[in-house]
Amino acid sequence: MQTDQTLAIGGFNVISTDRPTLARRLLDGLAQGRQQLLFFVNTNLVVKGRALLAHQDDPGVILANDGIGLDIAARLMHGVTFRENLNGTDFTPYLFECAPAPLRVYMVGARPDVLERAAAHVRDRLGQQVVGTCDGYAGVRQTADLDSRINAAGAQLVLVAMGNPIQEAWMLEHRHALDAKIIIGVGALFDFWAGDKVRAPLLVRRLRLEWLFRLAQEPGRLLRRYTWDILVFLRQCYKYR
């Protein structure tokens, strides 16, 4: 069995692991009452989520790799690639499958209409208990007692879908007020579950070209991320090599 190792990418200490090992770590922590925060580190987070660096040595913080950019950087700097490509879109349903019983899930983020459809998908298609939701717009801004509501609902898992670095900042700000033992930043996952966005075909994903598919769908929003921000990412990798 391979042993997990940590690879330094742009100042972030990213764990090289696989889905079974990561799921087991989270579920063991849940059973033992240990809170764990899972962040998926992609090139965009390396560029825009520098505030996370101050928290990465916390034993409750897990940084997992997301995307081909991290693999390229790992190959250039360490001569290896990550054991498996990990992202919230694929990992979260896998975590549900590995849980011995349906998880009590609280969902934070996305537009209200998207969130409603995503929550229905989690209940009806994925068989989990959605114990509450809060949209990532007026809901998050106007719900002063959101932490208390999440705790009162008995959530075991909080999924935060507000895009990085906003979701990471929210997770770090609220973690100590939350009783939930697993908190995961999942990016655009609610949009996929709601059918509001379409994932790349399986072959495209296997070829590690999902980023190109998403760029073609949303050029206005993602063009900078996959052009200028890539240069900034490479500069960060060189600076913290």
Evaluated on CA atoms 169, 87, 20, 136, the torsion sign reads positive
For 101-115, b where at least 16 C-beta lie within 10 A, e where not — what string? Answer: eebbbbbbbbbeebb
Three-class secondary structure of residue 175 per DSSP = helix
Structure letter (DSSP) for residue 186: -
pLDDT digits (tens, 9 = 90+) for 13-28: 999 999 999 999 999 9
Predicted confidence at residue 231, as pLDDT, reads: 87
Q: Nearest Cα to 28, choosing from 95, 107, 123, 112?
A: 95
- Tens of pLDDT, residue by residue over 40-89, are 999 999 999 999 999 999 999 999 999 999 999 999 899 999 999 999 99
Beta bridge partners of 106: 132, 158
Phi, psi of 182 (to 5 degrees): -130, 125
Q: Residue 215 pLDDT > 80, yes or no? A: no
| Residue 14 near residue 7 (C-beta atoms within 8 A) | yes
- The more confidently predicted of residues 67 and 199 is 67
Q: Read off the pLDDT band of 210 (50, 70, 90).
A: confident
Confidence of residue 185 (pLDDT cuts 50, 70, 90): very high
Would you say residue 175 has pLDDT above 80? yes
Contact 178, 147 (CB under 8 A): yes
Is the pLDDT assigned to residue 207 strictly greater than 80? Answer: no
Amino acid 47: pLDDT: 93
| The pLDDT of residue 182 | 98
Which residue would you say has higher pLDDT here, 161 or 1? 161
**For 43-57, 117-131, 147-161, 206-220, which range has the lowest pLDDT when averaged over its residues?**
206-220
Residue 120, CB-side half-sphere exposure with 13 Å CA sphere? 9
Residue 67's CB is within 10 A of a number of other CB atoms, namely 21
Question: Which residues fall within 8 angstroms of residue 90, CB to CB, at 6 or more apart?
Answer: 19
- The predicted pLDDT at position 235 comes to 86
Predicted pLDDT of residue 112: 97
pLDDT at 160 over 70: yes
CA distance 9 to 237: 6
Q: Is the pLDDT of residue 161 over 90?
A: yes
pLDDT of residue 225: 78
Q: Picking from 5-19, 108-122, 203-217, which range would have the lowest pLDDT averaged per residue?
A: 203-217
The rounded mean pLDDT for the chain is 93
Distance CA 108, CA 190 (A): 9
